[in-house]
Structure 1
Amino acid sequence: MWTWWGARSVDGMEPIEAITAVHHPVRRRMCDYLGLHGATQVTTLARALDQQVGSISHHLRILARAGRVERVEDPTGDRRTSWWQLARQGMSWSAEDFPDSPADALLAREAERANVRTHVDRLRAWHHRTGSTPEWNRAAFSIDWLAWATPEELAALSEAMRETFAAWQAGIDTDDGAERRPVFVFGHGFPTAP
């Protein structure tokens, strides 16, 4: 599985083409799907996202040019089908990564906004859900807190949260037969006033 996009650069500067490629709504959903399911055939991806095969192929080419996805061998050996997977997990950036290009900084800020819209839209969809089960209602959570920190301390908290999530994910035995659903976890840390 994986970590996901966050508006804080920690692993070096992402190319603006990769940032903008991912933050198209369909391409974001495609990356999410590939992150959860691994290598997937184009037709399966189109059906799962309720899109046309031609549209999915177009978006895959854009993501491939940006280095976000890559074509892989068909696991059945059938060379007539097209299979794709994520090229690498996660992505982080900041508009401040582009001090010499106001245009790229503007694109990075818009990607940050698109990322937040995705978070809020998913939360809104959860709250407007129908037919949810009590165990999922009890397991879902919301957490926030207010504290004092320096920029370095806030960056350290971000890294600690990534490590905690990775350890939690690595500890899940996916072969135990339990029914699992995709879950979305997000958090934001930023300066504010009470």
Structure 2
Amino acid sequence: MAQEPRATAAKTTARITDLRTLRAIAHPVRLRLYEVLATGGPATASKLSAYVPGAPGSLSYHLRQLAEHGYIEEAPELGKDGRERWWRAIPGGVRWSNADFEGQPAGREALASAQQVLVARQLERLHAWQAAGAEQWGPDWAGAAVATDTVLHLSLDELREFAADLHAVMNKWGEASRAATQGARRGDDTDREQVFVFTHAFPFDDRPGPSRGNPA
């Protein structure tokens, strides 16, 4: 992996609004490649193979697909010769709205596939932490980690407000994280690690009788 030698142009990934782009990112290898580039900095397919299972040739194909759909871009200034092909992530992440795919015949299937890939990756990270996180990171980090859940009784508007509050908190700490990352690249003294955060909030019904979402 390599440190960014300069700031990239002011661009971010676009919100996904078409099925072709959604299918392109809904692939475990491509999602993992984007994650590694986004958190670890620019790299070649060969360097990425140390973090993402697969032969460099296969990873190169997936990297080209990510570039075609606006998730990464080439970083030619990092190559020492014409044979090295370096890639960098375009910030912004992977995001879409289900509403953009309503009415498309294959929309529901594509959304389900993409959501399964994302949830599988989230659970993979959680299982890795549960299996060896405390031993790997030590008692201080283990004590600072958060695991919580609750059941709330909310109206539709209250759930929307709750979601907005969560977004505000995530944005606040996202800005702080980005500022700290830039400081670390300038050589500031820091004691930071990557911290994975994911939340889900959705209606459910485990009461006896017909379910609202699945009426008898």
- Structure 1 length as normaliser, TM-score? 0.80
User: Equivalent pairs: percent with the same residue?
Assistant: 29
Contact kept, 8 Å, 2:45 with 2:57, in 1: the verdict is no
SS at match of 1:74: helix
The residue identity in structure 2 corresponding to 1:189 is: A
Partner of 1:8: none
With a CA cutoff of 8 Å and minimum separation of 6, indicate the structure with the bigger relative contact order: 1
Q: 5 Å matches for 1:17-28?
A: 17-28=20-31
What is the CA distance between 1:87 and its match in structure 2? 2.9
Partner of 1:178: 190
Q: How far, CA to CA, are the matches of 1:156 and 1:35 in structure 2? A: 30
Count of residues in correspondence between the two structures:
184
Structure 2 stretches of 5 or more lacking a match? 1-13, 207-216
Contact kept, 8 Å, 2:32 with 2:52, in 1: the verdict is yes
Q: 5 Å matches for 1:36-55?
A: 36-55=39-58
Partner of 2:147: 142
Structure 1 stretches of 5 or more lacking a match? 1-10
- Write out per-residue CA displacement over residues 48-95 of structure 1, whole angstroms, 9 at most, x where no aligned residue: 324321011010111122222221223366443211122341222244
The residue identity in structure 2 corresponding to 1:187 is: T
What is the CA distance between 1:151 and its match in structure 2? 4.0
Please provide the CA RMSD for this pair.
2.5
Contact kept, 8 Å, 2:72 with 2:90, in 1: the verdict is yes
Q: How far, CA to CA, are the matches of 1:152 and 1:70 in structure 2? A: 40
| Rg comparison, structure with higher value | 2
Partner of 1:4: none
Q: 5 Å matches for 1:40-119?
A: 40-75=43-78, 78-119=81-122
Partner of 2:205: 193
* Structure 1 range deviating more: 23-32 or 36-45: 36-45
Query: Do the aligned partners of residues 56 and 110 (structure 1) sit closer, same or farther apart at CA in structure 2, a change above 3 Å counting?
Result: same
The residue identity in structure 1 corresponding to 2:163 is: S
Query: Do the aligned partners of residues 138 and 111 (structure 1) sit closer, same or farther apart at CA in structure 2, a change above 3 Å counting?
Result: same
SS at match of 2:189: coil
